[in-house]
Structure 1
């Protein structure tokens, strides 16, 4: 028996990267999966939404209910990141990060709660280790992910007794197409890869499928006593103290 047979899942950012791996895993375990992002998705049932437009995000859940009649799993995976110092950041830059990375998940949670309550559903947010620490020039991104971690705990406190659990997975460096492309553009990609491996106790970076495995467990009944937690999946990166070279 597949864990998600007969269940309906909404995965934002499901066209690529971590979101795609999550959508595939949930589908392979029996779920009917809807992906939500800015571009067409030919692999899953798809709703096209611009996450910078809150008024559009607010309509997503109703569209899924109209098509599927229920919602069991919400995975907030879509996000964005731009590098800049605060002094160079416009209010629009800041607001865009918060809107996409925090307001959109809030609106999807807000509009899905009554349906998740009816099905005993679960919410899994994709945060980041940058909600705990920060890389240089990531003030807006780190702030938005820290906010998502806080939202996770608040939703768990308010709704777990009603049967709706909420958790966050906080990935470290994951080999998404975007990150792989970033490495390939380095002057010496092989040296950069070795450097990445050296900052991870496991000696390598992560795979999207490894994040999807944890998301699937958190979305399943196997984790029925787990809520309000931020699960760091980073190959040990954040526990390793730096040393002078």
Structure 2
């Protein structure tokens, strides 16, 4: 009987993380969610964990290894969006963005890397187009997502000879909550399908950076040469 691969996902009680977790579960993976708020799904093993607390991360990883004996996949999904003009954004919004979007993924990587090395596993960093395509009032979100991409690139170089593959996903528009006229957006399940596919690639393949966009996005009212006047 095939032993189920174990995937650890941060922030998967709703939205994108939930869709990713559900997809992995449907494909026969054992899913462990690190959630501050539990969703109490019977197909997911949940550990109550505030990823801003390094002691809770440490305890959660120890419990996973104790209960399951291994970690095959880490999905650094949890993240927040805090917006504000660069001259006015609050210190609290800036600090919590750094802690959630950057420091927590690093801590999770550090605590799980030994076990991922043993299983020749893979780490997914869930990034955003906001890390490459900047816009007004996005200093906290865009800065942390750009830095997350940099972290992933360093992880590729530092971890590849330890048998760990690394992938950073740059994601475009995703529909987390059903809204009018948003059928063109990608669904959380679409992202989950991609992660399952990337994980299944031969171990000799490093899918270091993958960009995912809606195939037919909402059209901009400004096109052509005129668009360049607003960059």
> Does the alignment reach a TM-score above 0.5?
yes
**Equivalent position of 1:98 in the other structure:** 98
Query: Structure 2: how far apart are the matches of 1:46 and 1:122?
Result: 20
Query: Structure 2: how far apart are the matches of 1:106 and 1:82?
Result: 20
**Equivalent position of 1:233 in the other structure:** 212
Please tell me the root mean square deviation across aligned C-alpha atoms, in Å: 2.3
Match runs of 1:176-187 below 5 Å:
176-177=176-177, 180=178, 183=179
How much has 1:160 moved relative to structure 2? 1.2
SS of the residue corresponding to residue 144 of structure 1 reads helix
**Equivalent position of 1:137 in the other structure:** 137
Query: Structure 1: how far apart are the matches of 2:161 and 2:35?
Result: 31
Report how many aligned residue pairs link the two structures: 220
Higher helix share goes to which structure? 1
How much has 1:91 moved relative to structure 2? 2.4
Consecutive unaligned residues of structure 2, counting only runs of 5 or more, are none
**Equivalent position of 2:21 in the other structure:** 23
Match runs of 1:1-245 below 5 Å:
5-43=3-41, 44-177=44-177, 180=178, 183=179, 190=180, 193=181, 204-222=184-202, 224-229=204-209, 231-235=210-214, 242-243=222-223
TM-score by length of 2: 0.87
* Deviations 1:122-173, CA, capped at 9 Å, x for gaps: 1111100011112321110111111111111111111112210000112111
Query: Structure 1: how far apart are the matches of 2:189 and 2:13?
Result: 14
TM-score by length of 1: 0.82
* Deviations 1:95-136, CA, capped at 9 Å, x for gaps: 100100111110000111110000101111110001111232
Alignment check: 8 A CA contact 2:127 2:168 kept:
yes
Q: Residues 82 and 241 of structure 1: is their aligned pair in 2 closer, same or farther, counting only changes over 3 Å?
A: same
